[in-house]
Chains A and B, each alone.
Chain A
Amino acid sequence: MSQPRDYSMTGDDGRAAVARGLADAQWYQTPVARKRLKELMQRSDGPAIRDTVLWLGLMVAFATAAIALWPSWWCVPFFAAYGVLYGSASDSRWHEAGHGTAFKTRWMNTAVYQIACFMIVRNPTTWRWSHTRHHSDTIIVGRDPEIVGMRPPKLGSIALYFFGVFDLPRGLRTMVRHALGRISADEASYTPESEHRKVFRDARIWTVLYIAIVAACVVRDSWLPALLVGLPRMYGAWHHVLTGLTQHCGLDEDVTDHRLNSRTVYMNPVSRFIYWNMNYHLEHHMYPLVPFHHLRELHDEIKHDLPPAIPSIAAAYRQFVPVMFAQRTDPSVCIHPQLPAPRLADGTLGA
């Protein structure tokens, strides 16, 4: 069996990636005419305002119903729905608002980003920089801090992600560490020192807020405050993990073509609302300036040059789960999507 790879940001694989020219590399892009690309990149406040009003409005409605029915069992479905909007929709809002593409108006992106970061328990500064690196060096071992399907995969741990079993405690531990003014070596490798002050400031504010939630639970002798703030990151996490795992799992590492390491999956409208169209993940990586509400059009524009989209979430899992099982004993196993033949300038297929 080959030597396990080092996925840390400060290890040998990261240094090897730099030496091999895999860091900050030039990535393949399907050509799109400038005029059409400009149309697709255009920002608009409308779709994100509509979705944000719906998102937060539904949260208030479900929370109100859940509180009214607490502590009877009738509150459970309302908490379940609230939890998904809190613990899963916050992941896609963190992502899209972090790119600054959700809204045209800058402060709206910032506001939603801060709210979503708090819900998903991701420091607004370190996670912005980690995601910048994820886009520079997507699934490059030792460079990308956001690789979930490390090889050999720990399938038990990945299964527990569905319930936030590791994520929430890890997020809170990291928050306290930041509040104490400490940053890890991995974080320091992609977060400039000039940004550390912001990291610590936000963590201290959050720590006070979480202490207030715990205090409210103690004073009221009730779990209710924590069920509304904090714990939804666990009991509502399943949808963002369900959809998030489809992005890259089972695909190749250390390639500079997103068609080989990212996946587009057709999904139902409810999942696309919660996930804010990130099911068009390959398209997003190829053209990160295109906002969520234009990704479907971008997909139509370039799909002739992409591997066939996966028809459903279930089909995606049928594709990558067996591969991840195989990777437990042979980490070199991965999916190699079939790429379409390149088109010549006159539109015909090349050799």
Chain B
Amino acid sequence: MSTWTDMGAAGDIEQEDVVGVEIGGRAYAIYRSLDDVYYATDGLCTHQQVRLCEGLVMGHIIECPKHNGRFDYTTGEGRGVPIRENLRTYPAKVVDGRVLVDLG
């Protein structure tokens, strides 16, 4: 069952960047790609629970700010050491200028 949750204004996220959102004590990361598509993942790195919103977005890659672990944020797939567990992703869309994420 879909539970679309408002994560904030789409315009607040720069292209090729990420912001962090906390809902119900859980951290999420919302991404805006260079081609203006929005994505959502869990907000903490699967390696050591570091906030990904402080990392660097390069194309479709988010790099963790602490140990440089990399994920493809469109699929959640970990890309090499020290990542050993993929990142959970969530469907995201923009409606009336707001980013909505299906937290399931």
Q: Taking the complex as formed, is A164 at the interface, i.e. its CB lies under 8 A from any CB of chain B? A: no
Please state if A195 and B67 are interface contacts (CB–CB under 8 Å).
Answer: no
Asked if A135 meets B67 with Cβ closer than 8 Å, knowing A38-B17, A195-B81, the reply is yes
Asked if A43 meets B68 with Cβ closer than 8 Å, knowing A24-B49, A192-B84, the reply is no
In the assembly, what is the distance between CA of A322 and CA of B13, in Å?
51
B51 to chain A, nearest CB (A): 10
Asked if A99 meets B56 with Cβ closer than 8 Å, knowing A129-B81, A195-B81, A289-B63, the reply is no
Could you say which residues of chain B place their CB within 8 Å of the CB of A42? 56
Residues in A94-149 with C-beta less than 8 Å from chain B = 99-101, 104, 128-129, 132, 135-136
Q: Taking the complex as formed, is A194 at the interface, i.e. its CB lies under 8 A from any CB of chain B? A: yes
Could you say which residues of chain B place their CB within 8 Å of the CB of A225? none
How many chain B residues touch A (CB < 8 A): the figure is: 16
Partner of A287, one of B65, B67, B84: B65
Partner of B65, one of A24, A104, A288: A288
Asked if A136 meets B67 with Cβ closer than 8 Å, knowing A24-B48, A195-B81, A289-B56, the reply is yes
Please state if A288 and B56 are interface contacts (CB–CB under 8 Å).
Answer: no
Could you say which residues of chain B place their CB within 8 Å of the CB of A128? 81-82
Please state if A136 and B66 are interface contacts (CB–CB under 8 Å).
Answer: yes
Asked if A289 meets B65 with Cβ closer than 8 Å, knowing A24-B48, A38-B56, the reply is yes
Q: Interface residues, chain A, CB within 8 Å of chain B?
A: 24, 37-38, 41-43, 99-101, 104, 128-129, 132, 135-136, 192, 194-195, 287-289
User: Which 9 A-B residue pairings sit nearest by Cβ, starting from the closest?
Assistant: A41-B56, A132-B82, A132-B67, A100-B68, A24-B48, A289-B56, A289-B65, A99-B68, A135-B67
28 contacts between A and B (CB under 8 A): A37-B54, A38-B17, A38-B56, A41-B56, A42-B56, A43-B56, A43-B58, A100-B63, A100-B68, A100-B70, A101-B68, A104-B58, A128-B81, A129-B81, A129-B82, A132-B81, A132-B82, A135-B66, A135-B67, A136-B67, A194-B84, A195-B81, A288-B65, A288-B66, A288-B67, A288-B68, A289-B55, A289-B63
